[in-house]
Amino acid sequence: MHDVDDTVRELSSAIGLPIYKRFSEEEAACQLGMSKQTLKRLRDAGRIGFVRISKRKLAFFGFQLAEYLLNAIEDTTCQDMP
Protein backbone atom coordinates (compact mmCIF):
# COMPACT_ATOMS: atom_id res chain seq x y z
CA MET A 1 0.00 0.00 0.00
CA HIS A 2 1.19 3.55 -0.71
CA ASP A 3 2.80 5.24 2.30
CA VAL A 4 0.99 8.54 2.84
CA ASP A 5 2.94 11.18 4.72
CA ASP A 6 1.52 13.31 7.52
CA THR A 7 1.28 16.48 5.40
CA VAL A 8 -0.91 14.70 2.84
CA ARG A 9 -3.05 13.26 5.65
CA GLU A 10 -3.48 16.69 7.25
CA LEU A 11 -4.43 18.38 3.98
CA SER A 12 -6.82 15.58 3.06
CA SER A 13 -8.49 15.78 6.45
CA ALA A 14 -8.74 19.58 6.31
CA ILE A 15 -10.47 19.58 2.92
CA GLY A 16 -12.55 16.44 3.49
CA LEU A 17 -10.79 14.29 0.90
CA PRO A 18 -10.69 10.58 1.81
CA ILE A 19 -7.14 9.46 1.04
CA TYR A 20 -7.98 5.91 -0.05
CA LYS A 21 -11.21 6.66 -1.91
CA ARG A 22 -10.93 6.06 -5.65
CA PHE A 23 -12.18 8.88 -7.90
CA SER A 24 -13.08 8.69 -11.59
CA GLU A 25 -11.51 11.20 -13.96
CA GLU A 26 -14.64 13.31 -13.83
CA GLU A 27 -14.82 13.18 -10.02
CA ALA A 28 -11.11 13.96 -9.67
CA ALA A 29 -11.37 16.96 -12.00
CA CYS A 30 -14.36 18.20 -10.00
CA GLN A 31 -12.49 17.76 -6.69
CA LEU A 32 -9.59 19.80 -8.08
CA GLY A 33 -11.83 22.44 -9.66
CA MET A 34 -10.62 21.88 -13.20
CA SER A 35 -11.80 20.38 -16.46
CA LYS A 36 -11.16 16.76 -17.44
CA GLN A 37 -8.95 18.07 -20.27
CA THR A 38 -6.76 20.01 -17.83
CA LEU A 39 -6.51 16.93 -15.61
CA LYS A 40 -5.51 14.88 -18.67
CA ARG A 41 -2.76 17.37 -19.51
CA LEU A 42 -1.44 17.18 -15.93
CA ARG A 43 -1.55 13.38 -16.07
CA ASP A 44 0.23 13.25 -19.43
CA ALA A 45 2.91 15.61 -18.10
CA GLY A 46 3.47 13.36 -15.08
CA ARG A 47 2.36 16.03 -12.62
CA ILE A 48 -0.36 13.91 -10.98
CA GLY A 49 -0.40 10.24 -10.08
CA PHE A 50 -3.16 7.90 -11.23
CA VAL A 51 -4.15 4.25 -11.36
CA ARG A 52 -4.89 2.45 -14.61
CA ILE A 53 -7.99 0.30 -14.02
CA SER A 54 -8.18 -1.05 -17.55
CA LYS A 55 -6.89 -0.14 -21.01
CA ARG A 56 -9.33 2.80 -21.22
CA LYS A 57 -10.26 3.49 -17.61
CA LEU A 58 -8.24 5.52 -15.09
CA ALA A 59 -8.82 6.44 -11.48
CA PHE A 60 -7.22 8.67 -8.87
CA PHE A 61 -6.89 8.01 -5.15
CA GLY A 62 -7.57 10.87 -2.78
CA PHE A 63 -3.93 10.91 -1.68
CA GLN A 64 -2.87 11.45 -5.31
CA LEU A 65 -5.13 14.49 -5.53
CA ALA A 66 -3.80 15.83 -2.21
CA GLU A 67 -0.19 15.25 -3.31
CA TYR A 68 -0.87 17.18 -6.52
CA LEU A 69 -2.35 20.08 -4.54
CA LEU A 70 0.65 20.19 -2.20
CA ASN A 71 3.07 20.14 -5.12
CA ALA A 72 1.11 22.89 -6.90
CA ILE A 73 1.53 25.38 -4.06
CA GLU A 74 3.70 28.25 -5.18
CA ASP A 75 5.74 30.13 -2.62
CA THR A 76 5.39 33.89 -2.60
CA THR A 77 7.19 36.41 -0.47
CA CYS A 78 6.46 39.92 0.63
CA GLN A 79 8.92 41.06 -2.05
CA ASP A 80 6.51 39.72 -4.67
CA MET A 81 3.81 42.08 -3.45
CA PRO A 82 3.56 45.61 -4.90
Give the pLDDT confidence of 4-18 residue by residue, as tens digits: 789 999 999 999 999
pLDDT recorded at residue 3: 72
CA distances, 56 to each of 25, 34, 53, 62, 82 (Å): 11, 21, 8, 20, 48
In this predicted model, what pLDDT tens digit does every residue of 41-52 receive, in sequence order?
999 999 999 999
Q: By the 8 A CB rule, do 32 and 41 touch?
A: no
Mean pLDDT for all residues in the chain: 89
The DSSP H or E segment spanning 52 is strand 51-52
Q: By the 8 A CB rule, do 33 and 24 touch?
A: no
Q: List, in sequence order, every residue forming a beta bridge with 59; answer none if it has no partner.
A: 51
pLDDT(59) > 90 = yes
Between helix 62-72 and helix 25-32 the angle, nearest 10°, is: 40
pLDDT(2) > 80 = no
